[in-house]
Chains A and B, each alone.
Chain A
Amino acid sequence: MVHAFLIHTLSGSGQATGDATFCRVLYSQVFGSERLPDEPGPRGPERDRLLRKEQLLAVARQAETACKLLQQASGRPPTDLLPQSSDEPIPLQDAPSGVFRLRPGDPFQEAKVVVWLRLLSLGCALVCEPHENLLLAESTLRLLTRLLLEHLKLLSSGSNVLLRGDRIEAILNHFLPQGQLLFLNDQFVQALEKELSTSLAR
Chain B
Amino acid sequence: MGLRVFRLVSGRGGRVFKPATGCSPRERRASSAKRGAGLGIAPREIQDQELKKFCLRITGLLQKEDLGNETIDCLQRLFLIVSATKYYRKLEKKFVELLLSAMYFPKSPEQVQVLCAAILREISPSEDLTLFYDHIQNTKLLSLMSSVLLAQGNKRDEVRDVGLRVTKILESRQPEGQSLRYLLPVLSKVITLSPKVLKEDQINLLNKRLIDWLRYASIQQGVAQISGGFFSNPRARQPGPITEVDGAVATDFFTVLSVGQHYTEDQWLNMQAFSMLRKWLLYSGNDGTETPDSDDKSELEGSIMSMVSATSTSSRLLPPKERLRENAFEYCQRLIEQSNRRALKKPDCELQKACLVEAVIILDLLCRQDSSFMYRTLSCLKTLHGRLCGDLAYVQALLPVAQFFLNHSEAAAVDSEAVYQHLFTNIPSELFYNSMLAFEFIQFCRDNIHFFNGNLSIFKSSFPNLFKFLAWNSASLISEFVDILPVFIDASTAIEMLHVLLDLPCLTAALDLYLRSSFPTAEKPLWDPSLKPTSCLDGFRDPYHQALFQYLLRPKAKGFIKGLAPLHELLKPMAGCARVIQCAETVPILIQLFFTVVTEFADGTLINQLAVLLLGRSGLLFDVPQFKAAVHREMSSQLLVLCKLHPSLVVELSKELLEFTGTIRNIHSKENIFTHVVWAIGEYLSVLYDRRCTVELINKFFETLEALLFEITQFRPSATLPKCCPRVITVLMTTLTKLASRSQDLIPRVSLFLSKMRSFAQSPAMTSVYSEEDTETILTRATELMNLLKMPSVAQFVLTPSVEVSNPRYHLDTNTSLPLALQMASRLVEKEASLLSW
Contacts and interface: CB of A to CB of B under 8 A. Distances in A.
A110 to B, nearest CB: 11
A45 B263 CA distance: 43
CB-CB nearest 10 A-B residue pairs:
A75-B528, A53-B86, A69-B475, A180-B185, A32-B150, A177-B185, A178-B185, A46-B88, A136-B354, A183-B256
B26 to A, nearest CB: 30
B733 to A, nearest CB: 45
B333 interface: no
Contacts of A199: 110-111
A135 B350 contact: yes
A6 to B, nearest CB: 11
Interface string B87-113: 110000000000000000000011100
A151 to B, nearest CB: 13
Contacts of B263: 187-188, 191
Interface string B470-483: 00000110011000
Nearest to B282: A131
Nearest to B184: A180
Interface stretch (A8-16, A81-89, A160-168): A160-168
Contact of B79 (A75, A136, A165): A165
27 contacts: A1-B279, A32-B159, A33-B150, A45-B126, A45-B153, A46-B88, A48-B153, A53-B86, A75-B578, A101-B479, A129-B192, A134-B439, A139-B354, A163-B80, A165-B79, A165-B80, A165-B118, A166-B75, A169-B117, A170-B114, A178-B150, A179-B185, A180-B189, A183-B256, A183-B275, A184-B351, A187-B259
A45 B109 contact: no
Interface of B: 43, 72, 75-77, 79-80, 83-84, 86-88, 109-111, 114-115, 117-118, 121, 123-127, 143-144, 146-147, 150-154, 159, 182, 184-186, 188-189, 192-194, 245, 256-263, 268, 271-272, 274-276, 279, 345, 347-348, 350-351, 353-355, 357-358, 361, 396, 435-436, 439-440, 443, 475-476, 479-480, 524, 527-531, 577-579, 582
B109 A178 contact: no
A29 to B, nearest CB: 7
Contacts of A178: 143, 146-147, 150, 185-186, 188-189
A139 B118 CA distance: 25
A185 B272 contact: no
A60 to B, nearest CB: 12
B689 to A, nearest CB: 41
Contacts of B186: 177-178
A180 B186 CA distance: 9
Given A69-B582, A165-B80, A184 B475 contact: no
Nearest to B582: A73
A180 B276 contact: yes
A100 interface: yes
A173 interface: yes
Contacts of B152: 33
Contacts of B153: 33, 36, 45, 48
Contacts of A163: 76-77, 80
A120 interface: no
A183 B345 contact: no
B538 to A, nearest CB: 21
A41 B597 CA distance: 39
A45 B153 CA distance: 9
Contacts, number: 216
B189 A31 contact: yes
Contact of B114 (A134, A173, A185, A189): A173
Given A50-B88, A162-B80, A179-B189, A33 B351 contact: no
Contact of B531 (A28, A48, A75): A75
B480 A184 contact: no
Interface string A58-69: 000000001001
B349 to A, nearest CB: 10
Interface centre among A49, A169, A191, A200 (most CB of B within 10 A): A49
Given A28-B83, A94-B524, A187-B263, 14 more contacts: A33-B152, A35-B194, A69-B476, A75-B531, A131-B361, A133-B361, A134-B439, A139-B350, A139-B354, A162-B43, A166-B72, A180-B189, A183-B358, A188-B256
A99 B436 CA distance: 7
A166 B193 contact: no
A201 to B, nearest CB: 10
Contact of A1 (B72, B188, B357): B188
A163 B39 CA distance: 11
Interface centre among B185, B263, B396 (most CB of A within 10 A): B185
A71 B479 CA distance: 19
Contacts of A191: 262-263
A27 to B, nearest CB: 7
Interface centre among B76, B347, B579 (most CB of A within 10 A): B347
A84 to B, nearest CB: 17
A136 B358 contact: yes
B76 A72 contact: no
A72 B530 CA distance: 12
Interface string A134-167: 1110110000000000000000000000111110
Contacts of B258: 185
A106 to B, nearest CB: 11
A28 B263 CA distance: 31
A90 interface: no
Contact of A166 (B76, B151, B261, B480): B76
A57 interface: yes
Contacts of A189: 347
A181 B80 CA distance: 26
Contacts of B182: 177
A101 B72 CA distance: 38
A17 interface: no
B115 A73 contact: no
A16 B527 CA distance: 28
Contacts of A169: 114-115, 117-118
A76 B529 contact: yes
Nearest to B88: A46
Contact of B271 (A53, A98, A134, A184): A184
A189 B153 CA distance: 32
B189 A33 contact: no
Contacts of A73: 475, 578-579, 582
A182 B256 CA distance: 10
A20 interface: no
Contacts of B528: 74-76
B150 A31 contact: yes
Contact of B143 (A70, A99, A177): A177
Nearest to A33: B153
Contacts of B256: 183-185, 188
A187 B345 CA distance: 10
Contacts of A33: 124-125, 150-154
B807 to A, nearest CB: 37
A28 B80 CA distance: 11
Given A45-B127, A70-B475, A135 B347 contact: no
A49 B125 contact: yes
Contacts of B118: 29, 165-166, 169
Interface centre among A32, A53, A135, A189 (most CB of B within 10 A): A32
A62 B88 CA distance: 24
Nearest to B195: A35
Given A48-B125, A99-B439, A70 B476 contact: yes
A5 B446 CA distance: 26
A186 interface: yes
Contacts of A133: 354, 357-358, 361
Contacts of A99: 435-436, 439, 476
A134 B354 CA distance: 8
A111 to B, nearest CB: 10
Contacts of A180: 184-185, 188-189, 272, 275-276
Nearest to A69: B475
Nearest to B126: A45
Contact of A135 (B146, B150, B396): B396
